Structure 1
């Protein structure tokens, strides 16, 4: 049989991993080899649920994608930034504040980080269906079938087993959370390609080396493909910021606000930030691939009180159940406001804004 051919694309070469002696976060490494079976998920449940109750972050290995497939998606991920002419890029810029959606391009310098310093990151976002709700620049069009295959695999073989395990941890029917995440729903579970660019030293000083303020994610589960430029840090339970270490062909997975709300605080949305890379990686671009899981648009983000676990341990709320926003309300409200709306300073570290009655904090 003939071997299927794929469109050619320039190979993206990552910088080498840092050799600096950094304080790394101690995160569990979860082997997903058997996550496709109920028996395998039952074995993984204590490990995954403990991670999501404590650090809120974990690594996943043996998830079914090869290193070659990993390399290929990073090659494609760089196309929107290196192969799309500036004039064409402008036609696909998302009006984030008006629409509450990231679909399309987010250009650099639209968010204020601190002391007048604006961001130096671009991202390109597409609904997981890839072609159902948006069109794409010409340079990306040859790769749309591969992007669709990638989102289908990520949704069905990675996100769904995670959701099934999290439901098990609450002693709910295994598909409880998975049923909230229909692949064909128009909610903003999306694929993101993102690229950070170095900043002038004077901006680093003004922004205290922070590239993206400390925050929790909007959705339920975030899947990040590990890449070697160290910049991601999490706020650990002891109050210290620690670095996320690169592991070849691993996934970095974390819980977002929406899962914290649905789980009544049982699972934790961990605060994380992006800062200037260590000395031996300064001056490098940082390319990322993400899959941001969100519940269906009409899911109301209130605790699943039918959980026997929540009935035993109690519920931690950030708002009254009868005032719980829908997934679409919370997502669009936070998206439209981020970096574009004023924040209320609570102290020297914390700034806050209210989104559909929910206090949302940023950590600087």
Structure 2
């Protein structure tokens, strides 16, 4: 367990998981329980693939809004394709976030049981290599996410394979995020204070200052990962599953200092989801006299997702 008085999220090497899985599980789960966040180095995603993904992300968002808007699908909550600047709003916020984004989802074969819930991806013809690069990156996030979930299972005294079935063909989403340059008097923030809906989130691109988590003492704590590291956080689905043993911590992306507001910010979060029909039920091992079950009624992952998408303005 991490010391309650640690004032920053310490980096953890995923290389430790290979040789010392119990030690890594203790450190990773401890970081989740203390902060709701962890920083993971040595994650094994090819740096060349990541650099290619950054270049393609920037090339896409540099296109005119009218061109990007052809990839917006009305009424689908931004599940695939393009969502314009100023659309998403944090739950209970009054100002929309200062961002635009693109979603890549899981590709499923024809006739698959989840096709109705998980629509086909959209793929722009330009920039070249967009589809191939982001399908490969999606697969890599899936792979790393599975290793991290195995460690969480160990931390919760479950079999290391416990999450394999719940996330098989899960409704995971890779988001390409662009926070455009803003003026010194722009109202609102790049991303308002919120919690993530999904199981866990794996984020690339947090080296650019701005990501903060709300710590236990009510103060905002900056996340400052080493270059290329993943920032990983608990989502509401995992918080619910663990009866808040692992907390879904409020976080935000604040505007940069005035002298850096002319600089765009890019990031790539991977929202790792449960399969749509998985029943989220409180894990018995996370219930005690001191921590009674907050969620006696179960809910499917799909129903929970749609409920939350309505709260943040992506579904009406």
Alignment of 1:24-173 (within 5 A): 26-35=8-17, 37=18, 39-83=19-63, 85-95=64-74, 98-111=75-88, 117-129=95-107, 133-140=120-127, 142-156=129-143, 158-173=144-159
What is the Cα deviation at residue 117 of structure 1? Answer: 4.7
- 8 Å CA contact 2:194, 2:250 repeated in 1: yes
Q: 3-state SS of the aligned residue for 1:166?
A: helix
Q: Once the two structures are superposed, what CA deviation does each residue of 1:67-126 show, in whole Å capped at 9, x if it has no partner?
A: 43332221122233124x54442221133xx33453111101224579975433110001
How many angstroms apart in 2 are the aligned matches of 1:325 and 1:139?
A: 40
In structure 1, list runs of 5 or more residues that go unmatched.
1-23, 343-364
User: 1:268-307 to 2 correspondence within 5 Å?
Assistant: 268-305=247-284, 307=285
Q: How does 1:209-358 map to 2 (within 5 A)?
A: 210-305=189-284, 307=285, 310=286, 315=291, 317-318=293-294, 320-322=295-297, 324-339=298-313
User: What secondary structure, in the 3-state scheme, does the structure 1 residue paired with 2:134 have?
Assistant: helix
For residues 300 and 66 of structure 2, the distance between their equivalents in structure 1, rounded to whole angstroms, comes to 36
Aligned to 1:189: 172
TM-score by length of 2: 0.85
Give deviations 1:282-312, integer Å, cap 9, x for gaps: 221001111111111011222121x3xx256
**Does 42-51 or 111-120 show the bigger shift?**
111-120
- Decide whether the 8 Å contact of 1:108 with 1:122 is kept in 2: yes
Q: Are the counterparts in 2 of residues 80 and 124 from structure 1 also a CA contact under 8 Å?
A: no
Give the alignment's Cα RMSD to 1 decimal: 2.7
2:196–2:234 contact (8 Å) kept in structure 1: yes
TM-score, reference length from structure 1: 0.75
Largest Rg, 1 or 2: 1
Count, aligned residues: 301
Q: What per-residue deviation string (whole Å, max 9, x for no partner) do you get for residues 320-348 of structure 1?
A: 322x3211111122123314699xxxxxx
Distance in 2 of aligned mates of 1:276 and 1:122: 15
**Residue 316 of structure 1: CA displacement?**
5.2
Superposed CA deviations along residues 198-242 of structure 1, whole A, max 9, x for unmatched, are 3333333xx3xx332211100011000134321111101111012
